[in-house]
Chains A and B, each alone.
Chain A
Amino acid sequence: MSRVLPRARSGTWYVVMGFVARFFVNLALLTFSVFCLVPFMVVISASLSTEAAIGKYGYTIFPKEFSALAYQIIFRDASRVMRSYGVSTVVTVAGASAGMLVMSLMAYALSRKQFQLRQGISFYIFFTMLFSGGLVPSYILITQYLGMKNTLWVLIVPGLMSGWYVLVLRTFFQDIPEELLDAAKMDGAGEWRIFFQIAVPLSTPGLATIALFTMLGYWNDFYTALLYIEKQELYPIQYLLWVILQSAEWLQRTEQAQLMSQALRVPALPMRMAMAALAIGPIAFGYLFVQKYFIRGIRLGSLKG
């Protein structure tokens, strides 16, 4: 016990400093968390305000004059808005289901050591991540040769595959102990059955994470519609929101439009914000639902990626 420790200060000093340090750590994290959440609060607050209150006080974190009129109008009368939600929902569900099936099948196949073409196919996928033809060739292919412009297909099909997700999914399947799969094979199960009954259930966190990202990709996609959709009945919600923000800006500047919106008593600003809030809703809900899997999934993915 002859070791000499540098003890410059007493024990209580350390306890107090530890407390102060923890306080500042939490203060910093809390501040950043609030910074992340404020925009959400502003938009929700605006959607629950009256038009006049926004004009008078500007955008605020809490509504100054409460009104749910914007939501009432959307749910009762705005069939255009509801239709866009419908388009986005169909595209998200169909795209993510088909995409997950295609990608996880491919990833599983590439995780099988017996598969002699796996290196070649992996490179075939990988190369698409290194080099791309750019926008113009894809645009010509989709509009001139595949005739997909102004169809629901264009919103679903080109986004089905992501090479990166396939390669990440493959690492999840590679984690399954080989003996388990071989044992199933000994018992006479085919590859398809092993995939659906063993590989998929054992890779739930990884699959859930990638599924969430794929769904988000479809739900948040506005680029595809910007390029290929002109028919209003096929607008996904994100594209509709973009068009409305652009046109409302333009409308605001014309006097006639202002008179018209006053005459119709439609709360233009709260309406827009209510639509934005409704577009966030499913994301926030889905995120809370899968968060548990999700953080585990990304940690795995980011360490291996």
Chain B
Amino acid sequence: MPWTTTQEAPLSDAQATAPDRTRAAVLSASRMTSSDRLRRWLRNNGAPLLMSLPGMLHLLIFAYIPMFGIIIAFKRYRFDQGIFGSEWIGLYNFKFLFSSAVAARITRNTVGYHFLFMITGMFASLCIALLMNEVQGTLRARFYQSAMFLPHFISYVIVTYFVFAFLNLETGMLNRILARFGVDPIRWYGEARYWPGILTVVQIWKGTGYGSILYLAVMLGISPEYYEAAKIDGANKLQQIWHITLPMLVPIIVIQVLLSMGSMFRANFGLFFNVPMNRTALYPTTDVIDTFVYRALLQMGDMGMSAAAGVYQSVVGFVLVLLSNWAVRRVDPERALF
């Protein structure tokens, strides 16, 4: 529960402060003046409030004010007229967006890749975590971990360099290897159909080591007694994994799947914009909502369409988070976001 304190449920706040409030009421009824009360309140709350202020101000400017900016999607925005001066045009931008083929394409790609990455990524992370669990605490384990973590820290621009070194037409490693087997060089950057596979490999390369940490942490928390009991009963390693480790992981897997539903409408801009190098020929399989919003704004100069796509993403995304949280709450209230 990220936004509530771990010790208390959100509702209990009212109850927790109730005694304080009654005490304050009793005191003020007797002889406390309002400035006394303010001073008393400030003694407990003044410093924390001051400490929170810079962060609150930042969120106000860079998160809350732009939220009201979604009205731009319902206007014909002109720079000279500003947000409030521009003319209202209702749902025109949305009609324009959804009557084009683009809306279906970016929705399909965004959601499709989400599921593709979730399933393959989860499977790879689980496998690595199971393997790592067998070598815990050795020097080799530290080497594996360091090597598998490193990709997580690399920017997608650098990843683009990596992929380019493998896939470019003339000097790329893959085409050179294929040439040895007598296969003609393939135009990887010219054909959209290869990219779901390429992007999945990139995501597995980048995310598996980091993703395995969560599962590994859960495995480390499983009591050794279960395994000892199983050994006495004659269970081998695979049976132990199948009958103890995996069942213990089921709750966290369910929660991860449900939580990830909340981000189904959000795609990784760095991955989809950089790695295919923004090639028009690859848009059929690489264009997602986030890259479209960027392109519509800065390359096509169509602010209305970009804003409409952005609002579409925000609103559907918000509904999805609420739904996913509702589902998580039903399964395990402890893990629900709110």
- A contact set with B: CB distance below 8 Å: 5-7, 21-22, 25-26, 28-30, 32-37, 39-40, 42-43, 46, 54-55, 57-60, 102-103, 105-106, 108-119, 121-126, 128-141, 144, 157-158, 160-161, 163-164, 166-168, 170-171, 174, 190-192, 195, 216, 219-223, 226-227, 238-239, 241-242, 245-246, 249, 269, 272-273, 276, 279-280, 283-284, 287-288, 291, 295, 298-299, 302-305
Contact = CB atoms under 8 A, between A and B. Distances in A.
Interface in B208-242: 208-210, 213-214, 217-218, 232, 234, 237
Contact of B144 (A7, A33, A46, A190): A33
B314 interface: yes
Contacts of A283: 153-154
Nearest to B163: A39
A108 B166 CA distance: 47
A136 B67 contact: no
B219 to A, nearest CB: 12
30 contacts: A21-B237, A32-B144, A33-B148, A36-B147, A39-B165, A54-B171, A58-B170, A102-B54, A102-B58, A105-B54, A109-B49, A113-B5, A118-B48, A126-B2, A132-B63, A133-B310, A134-B311, A137-B65, A140-B77, A140-B83, A174-B7, A191-B48, A192-B51, A222-B274, A227-B294, A242-B157, A245-B164, A273-B165, A283-B153, A283-B154
Interface residues of B, number: 106
Nearest to A160: B58
A133 B328 CA distance: 25
Contacts, number: 301
Q: Is the interface of A mostly helix, strand, loop or mixed?
A: helix
A164 B156 CA distance: 21
Nearest to B62: A158
A131 B318 contact: yes
Interface in B19-51: 20, 41, 44-45, 47-49, 51
A26 B52 CA distance: 48
B314 A132 contact: yes
B79 A144 contact: yes
B199 interface: no
Interface of B: 2-7, 10, 13, 17, 20, 41, 44-45, 47-49, 51-52, 54-56, 58-59, 61-70, 72-73, 77, 79, 82-83, 128, 131-132, 134-135, 140, 143-151, 153-162, 164-166, 170-173, 175-176, 205, 208-210, 213-214, 217-218, 232, 234, 237, 269-270, 274, 277-278, 293-294, 297-298, 303, 306-307, 310-311, 313-314, 317-318, 321-322, 337-338
Q: Chain B interface mostly helix, strand, loop or mixed? A: helix
B158 A279 contact: yes
B17 to A, nearest CB: 6
Contacts of A160: 58
Nearest to A55: B171
B226 to A, nearest CB: 18
Contacts of B155: 219-222, 238, 279
A119 B8 CA distance: 10
B135 A43 contact: no
Contacts of B52: 105-106, 109-110, 117, 121
A35 B217 contact: no
A157 B159 CA distance: 26
B165 A43 contact: yes
Contact of A242 (B147, B160, B298): B160
A303 B150 contact: no
Contact of A136 (B3, B10, B20, B306): B306
Contacts of B44: 114-116
B314 A59 contact: no
A32 to B, nearest CB: 6
Contact of B72 (A136, A241, A299): A136
A125 B59 contact: yes
A106 B55 contact: yes
A93 B244 CA distance: 46
Contacts of A131: 67, 314, 317-318
B44 to A, nearest CB: 5
A26 B213 contact: no
A106, A137, A276 pick with most chain B CB within 10 angstroms: A137
